[in-house]
């Protein structure tokens, strides 16, 4: 008997949003200044983006991710990477 083994790579993606609050004192401490006016706006934006990215692992709970998976069902197969193998098995006597 011949059996075909098909291996299908996939990626599971979900999308959502979370909010992370950064207070003024934290920003001032980071830049070691006394007021927000002393901070270059581009540097402030870069810091806030990095802070948001760093906090993603802490702010998003496993329960929230599971809920997104249930709601979105974001399974994407990668058809160009499918492999097919043929396995020959001897018939049982």
Looking at the fold, whether 76 and 88 belong to one and the same domain comes out as yes
Domains of the chain: total:
2
Looking at the fold, whether 48 and 71 belong to one and the same domain comes out as no
Looking at the fold, whether 3 and 31 belong to one and the same domain comes out as no
DSSP string, the chain: -EEEEEE--EEE-----------HHHHHHHHT-SSGGGS-HHHHHHHHHHHHHHHHHHHS-HHHHHHHHHHH--EEE-GGG-EEEEEE-PPP-
Looking at the fold, whether 69 and 89 belong to one and the same domain comes out as yes
The tens digit of pLDDT for each residue in 12-31 reads: 888 888 888 899 999 999 99
Looking at the fold, whether 28 and 53 belong to one and the same domain comes out as yes
Looking at the fold, whether 8 and 28 belong to one and the same domain comes out as no
The tens digit of pLDDT for each residue in 34-87 reads: 999 999 999 999 999 999 888 877 878 889 888 888 898 888 888 899 898 888
| Segments forming the whole domain that contains residue 31 | 19-59
């Amino acid at each position: 008997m011949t059996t075909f083994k098909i291996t299908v790579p996939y990626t599971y993606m979900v999308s959502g949003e979370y909010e992370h609050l950064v207070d003024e004192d934290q920003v001032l401490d980071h830049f070691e200044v006394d007021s927000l006016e002393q901070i270059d706006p581009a540097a402030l934006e870069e810091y806030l983006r990095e802070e948001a990215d760093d906090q993603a692992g802490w702010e998003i709970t496993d329960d929230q991710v599971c809920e997104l998976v249930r709601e979105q069902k974001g399974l994407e197969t990668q058809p160009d990477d499918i492999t097919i193998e043929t396995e020959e098995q001897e018939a049982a006597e």
